[in-house]
Amino acid sequence: MNLTHLIFLAAILAGILIITHWAAKTNTTPQQFYIVSGNLTATQNGLAIAGDFISAASFLGITGSIAFYGFDGFLYAVGFLISYLLLLFFIAEPVRRLGTYTLGDVIAARFPKRSIRLIVSLNTIMICVLYMVPQLMAAGLFIQLLLGLDYQISVLIIGLLITVYVMFGGMITTSWVQIIKTVLLMTGTFLLCLLVLSRFHWDPGALLARAAEESPYAEGFFRSGNLLTHPFETFSLLLTLILGTAGLPHILIRFYTVRDQKAVRQSVVIASWIIGTFYLMTLVLGLGAVALVGWERLATADPEGNLAAPLLAYTLGGDFVMAFLSAAAFATILAVMTGLVIAATSSFAHDIYNHLLHRGKAGRRQQLKVAQGTAAVTGISAILLSLLMETKNVTFLVSLAFMMAGSTQFPLLLLTLYWRKFTAFGAVAGMLAGLLASLWFVLPGGTELENPGILAIPLGFAAAVLGTWLTRRPEEERRFDQILLRVHAGIDPRKGGSQECKS
């Protein structure tokens, strides 16, 4: 067991427990548990959005992909960044204006049918659990690698801690985990970039030349085709990353944790700068990894490339820098998992328990207890699934989660917010078609494509459009007219003016 790694990781876990203890004293209402009563500042929420958005796959996976495949690896970063810009320009403020706690609120503002809220809620919970399992498995393997603990013990410890964090700390703890993660990750990544560039006397050209020299692709390192051999695969991957990430529920709920639309705009702009800067730094890290660690050493350590960043840190700064960067990577996994648990918890407690079972009249204490119980069930379910799937390759779960989000949640949001003729039947048809297509194409034998998003996502849109054409209803179009000003101008005619001014 490496003592330096243990100290760093234990400090993070202990710090979050202290935050949870403090947060538990303030979590007395559902509003506080779900969205911190909207009391985060724009800066805090911007840091938290970035913490939610930048996953372990973004940090470890993209760095390794760039080191192994050059140009093709950087396409992952491009996809994630474009996805965020899509959220910024088309989704963020309308979601904040129509919703209160969950995506179900947004859809119910236009289609107040109980069946649609149920489908949206179940789909949200399914995406969160599917994405949680590989995250928890990655955390278990990470702890096993750094500290030498058994995989089962590692998963159990991390899973229980995540459950406790959300169960008692709610969105307060979740937000601060994400804020701390962002600060650690950006600090560690920036430090590592400076160390890489200093090795080449601050000459980017020398870094590029050394990277091409160390890569088996030589000059082809900077051309496409090393990983994605066909333009069809490239387009499919980008489509899945862009639309899938934009539909992930744990990112969407972050727009409710600030006071008004002005704070939403400020927080997403802050997050934009953080996320954009981070993805530029992953390019430096990926090039530095292949140039300084060497392609063969990277491939021997991990054929998937996920150890590229830690190995680069060790090469440049020894055990201490590697421990710091590993702690940042670990905090990244924790931040994403807490975000997923709170999203699933809010969806069940608010949408299903309060609105569907109690028609929006459940008491505050009952809602809070149900939310805490749901957090416990979600966390324990993820632990059990992670233990059962220890020996299996669960990469397909990540693909499935992104494809489901891109073929169900994103079309539903976009068409609800921007298409006047969209109907409730079209919403249900699109979600069901997107879900079934995602399952079919991701499961073995569904297709030979490595990234079948180009098949599933258009099917979700097409079913929503076809279902709408078959069931056009004037009363549903009139309902869109009623929420139009709220969606695009922040003006609620029922209150006689701007929501933002009155909030």
CA separation for the pair 130, 443 (Å, rounded): 14
CA separation for the pair 228, 157 (Å, rounded): 38
Amino acid 227: pLDDT: 85
Query: Residue written as tokens 């805090």?
Result: 44
Structural domains in the chain? 3-392 (1.20.1730.10)
The structure's pTM equals: 0.89
CA separation for the pair 308, 284 (Å, rounded): 12
Whole-Å CA distances, 196 to 283, 304, 324, 445: 11, 22, 16, 43
Amino acid 378: pLDDT: 93
Residues forming a β-bridge with 498: 491
User: Which parts of 347-452 fold into alpha helices (H)?
Assistant: 364-388, 395-404, 410-418, 424-442
Do residues 123 and 407 touch, judged by C-beta distance below 8 A? Answer: no
Residues of the chain below pLDDT 70: 1, 393-395, 444-446, 490-503
CA separation for the pair 144, 155 (Å, rounded): 9
Return the amino acid letter for 414. Answer: L
Question: How would you classify residue 38: left for phi > 0, otherwise alpha for psi between -120 and 50, otherwise beta?
Answer: left
Amino acid 258: pLDDT: 87
For 481, counting Cβ atoms within 10 Å of its Cβ (0-12 exposed, 13-18 middle, 19+ buried), the class is: exposed
Whole-Å CA distances, 242 to 82, 247, 348, 396, 406: 6, 9, 26, 18, 8
Nearest to 333 by CA among 84, 126, 60: 60
For 469, counting Cβ atoms within 10 Å of its Cβ (0-12 exposed, 13-18 middle, 19+ buried), the class is: exposed
Amino acid 356: pLDDT: 93
Amino acid 445: pLDDT: 65
Residues forming a β-bridge with 492: 497
Query: Taking the CB of residue 302, how many other CB atoms lie within 10 A of it?
Result: 15
Do residues 73 and 66 touch, judged by C-beta distance below 8 A? Answer: yes
Amino acid 3: pLDDT: 85
Return the amino acid letter for 324. Answer: F
Amino acid 494: pLDDT: 53
- Report residue 239 as tokens: 């489509």
CA separation for the pair 155, 387 (Å, rounded): 7
